[in-house]
Structures are given as structure tokens and as C-alpha cells.
């Protein structure tokens, strides 16, 4: 085999090996804070809010991108029963992947999965995922003040 042909084969093998190791694809996530505003447990209605999670992926080759997005449990340690806290005071809430607020967004079986063909080479492609939050009604013992929780977003691809 001529030396020129051998160089082409070597280059092709190198590119395939880089793709196989996942170096061709990068993804990141960002989201603004989710703010519920004022809550009154005595009104008998839930307080809802929404924000949007953005996942940005880019690649130098056309590739089928598949990933799952998990949201951590936060203060409570339990995705099914998240807690906003103010010192020792607790306000129950949760995060959902659907506008009806019926599917809790957590990790494992309650993560959100997506896949798409990424064909815009070298340019980040944004995918948007609404996050729906709800503080259930009837939490009349929660004193007024500012409550918070920290949720970690994980994109596994």
C-alpha cells in the first residue's frame, strides 16, 4: 500500500477512535432560579411556578445525541417530597416534568430522557425543558419569610 493511502487510513481510524470515546460530543445545562413568590397556606390553593432548563450540546461530527436529565432531591434527600427551608421551618414543594404536575422530576426512573440528531457541526444546539414547580395548599404552620432549596441538574450522555 502506498504511503499516501496509509496516511488516510490512519487518520480515519484516529477520528473513529475519538468519536468512540465520546470526545466529539459535549453537553451542558443551565437554568434560571425558580421563584414561587408569596405563598399563603390559608387560601386553600397551591402556588405554582415555572422555569426553563436549557441543555446545550455541540459536536464536530453529525451524531445522534441521547441523554437523560436528573434533578437532585435537594434539602429533603427525597425527590418525592422536596422541602424549601428557612432555618428549622419547612415548606413542602415539588418539581414536575409536565404542566399538570403529575410526574415528579427526579433521578433514575423519574428523570427526563431525550434524543435528537445533532447535525449542525461545531455550533451548540439548545433544547428547552420546562420545569414546573408547586407548593401544595394548606401549609398553614409555615411562618412567613424567604425559603430556599438547592437542586443539582445532571445531564448523563
Q: What are the extents of the domains in the chain?
A: 25-156
Q: Using one digit for the tens of pLDDT, what is the confidence trace for 68-83?
A: 999 999 999 999 999 9
For residue range 17-44, what is the model confidence (pLDDT) as tens digits? 223 334 589 999 999 999 999 998 888 8
Task: Give the residue from 72, 83, 80 showing the smallest Cα distance to 102.
Answer: 80
Comparing CA positions, the residue from 51, 60, 64 lying closest to residue 124 is 60
All 3 cell numbers of residue 73?
432531591
| End-to-end C-alpha distance for the chain, whole angstroms | 39
Strand, coil or helix: 15? helix
Instruction: Supply the DSSP symbol for 79.
Output: G
| 25-156 is classed CATH 2.60.40.1090 | yes
Count H helices, E strands: the chain?
1, 8
Q: 127 pLDDT band (50/70/90 cuts)? A: very high
What pTM does this model have?
0.82
Q: Which residues face 28 on adjacent strands?
A: 56
> How many whole angstroms separate alpha carbon 75 and alpha carbon 58?
33
Amino acid at each position: 500500500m502506498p504511503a499516501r493511502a496509509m496516511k488516510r487510513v490512519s487518520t480515519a481510524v484516529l477520528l473513529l477512535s475519538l468519536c468512540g470515546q465520546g470526545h466529539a460530543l459535549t453537553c451542558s445545562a443551565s437554568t434560571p432560579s425558580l421563584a414561587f413568590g408569596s405563598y399563603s397556606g390559608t387560601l386553600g390553593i397551591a402556588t405554582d411556578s415555572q422555569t426553563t432548563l436549557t441543555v446545550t450540546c455541540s459536536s464536530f461530527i453529525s451524531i445522534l445525541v441521547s441523554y437523560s436529565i436528573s434533578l437532585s432531591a435537594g434539602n429533603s434527600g427525597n425527590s418525592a417530597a422536596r422541602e424549601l427551608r428557612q432555618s428549622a421551618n419547612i415548606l413542602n414543594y415539588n418539581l414536575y416534568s409536565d404542566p399538570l404536575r403529575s410526574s415528579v422530576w427526579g433521578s433514575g426512573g423519574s428523570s427526563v430522557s431525550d434524543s435528537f440528531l445533532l447535525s449542525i457541526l461545531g455550533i451548540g444546539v439548545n433544547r428547552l425543558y420546562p420545569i414546573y414547580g408547586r407548593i401544595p395548599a394548606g401549609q398553614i404552620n409555615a411562618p412567613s419569610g424567604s425559603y430556599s432549596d438547592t437542586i443539582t441538574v445532571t445531564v448523563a450522555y
